[in-house]
Structure 1
């Protein structure tokens, strides 16, 4: 009986954030590209991005491992000419959702990931301080996979349980003119419908952009 109870408790934990900001159901790959949030700051913004290494590389073969290596500063620049262009960049996101729907976590939600850069949300600058970043493996040319929307809806539900004040925006919304992701292929209304997030949590609306 005790063993059954322990198993149920463990199963429940895998679908929630633990006390240190790590999601039990995600694949953990800790990034060195992180630091502390300002004292007393709790995340109240979720920023969506897209990424592909090399550009559109996922159309020819699985390239998720390159993104994982990039966020851990382990990218082998000999694998593709484009990698030499980004070799000196130190970036990270809290989460990555691959083309097959796998969720990776690189930074605790209690820590600051380096995903937003120069940014402003409704007059508040330095969005890294108060946001959670989610990367979707993809680009502006190809539609995202249904399984990615399903994984994203589940992840946003898990995060909203812990952080009920989360608003939702794209990188292009907080860095207009500098960034374009998640791009015109991303269906904001599909995310809202699948996750039942209130419409008012999307201050930039549902139009593709």
Structure 2
């Protein structure tokens, strides 16, 4: 499916080649002159604690059936997205080009700057606060971060945060089971 924003994106920087593409309407232009400077790691599962089923993609595309599960009635009206979702098997789906603003962070602050959506890339991992993430997810996340950093030089080596880091007290993801040391090791192996 051709993106409705194809004229404003650069394919060699905006679309991660291994990812399946599904457009989300929940995106817009970044502020003028603003490039990505931060990667935010999230975790999501729909319904909560269940994996697979395509419901996260439906949420990001405003197609979640509120009658399919009681929880969906609560979240079906949200207008949210992420740039990329990595499922439990390490497969990536991209919803928003990296040069555009995905609606993933909400009210947020990083290093004194508010509105993290303006300058960040949001990556959702299929998961919960209660479950460890899979080895395939760490490998896929590290490979994608390496690819993104090579194309967006304003994203420095320390410009990596969890949703809980930019919205403390409001968000807890990616949660206590996310292994930041393992991600750093995977990133080291990708760059070696």
- Taking structure 1 as the reference length, what is the TM-score of the superposition? 0.82
Q: How many matched pairs?
A: 177
The equivalences for 1:78-157 within 5 A come to: 78-157=67-146
- Indicate whether 1:163 and 2:125 are aligned: no
Looking at CA atoms only, which structure, 1 or 2, has the larger radius of gyration?
Answer: 1
**CA contact 2:13–2:152 (8 Å) conserved in 1:** no
**CA contact 1:115–1:128 (8 Å) conserved in 2:** yes
Tell me, which stretches of 5 or more residues in structure 1 are unaligned? 1-16, 198-209
**CA contact 1:117–1:128 (8 Å) conserved in 2:** yes
How far residue 164 of structure 1 moved from its aligned partner, in angstroms, is: 2.8
How far residue 23 of structure 1 moved from its aligned partner, in angstroms, is: 1.6
CA distance in 2, matches of 1:39, 1:165: 15
Question: What is the SS of the residue equivalent to 1:46?
Answer: strand
- Indicate whether 1:187 and 2:187 are aligned: no
Moved over 3 A (4+): none
CA distance in 2, matches of 1:170, 1:37: 21
**CA contact 1:18–1:24 (8 Å) conserved in 2:** no
Aligned to 1:47: 40
Please provide the CA RMSD for this pair.
1.3
Q: Given the superposition, is the C-alpha separation of residues 20 and 164 from structure 1 closer, same or farther in structure 2, using an over 3 Å criterion? A: closer
**CA contact 1:117–1:126 (8 Å) conserved in 2:** yes
**CA contact 1:71–1:92 (8 Å) conserved in 2:** yes
- Residue in structure 2 matching 1:174, options 166, 181, 185: 166
CA distance in 2, matches of 1:132, 1:45: 6
**CA contact 2:82–2:102 (8 Å) conserved in 1:** yes
Q: Residue deviations 1:126-173, cap 9 Å, x none?
A: 000000000000001110000000100110111010123321000111
CA distance in 1, matches of 2:143, 2:96: 18
CA distance in 1, matches of 2:153, 2:187: 13
Higher relative contact order (CA 8 A, sep 6+): 2
How far residue 19 of structure 1 moved from its aligned partner, in angstroms, is: 4.0
158-167 or 118-127, which moves further after superposition?
Answer: 158-167
Tell me, which stretches of 5 or more residues in structure 2 are unaligned? 1-9
- Taking structure 2 as the reference length, what is the TM-score of the superposition? 0.89
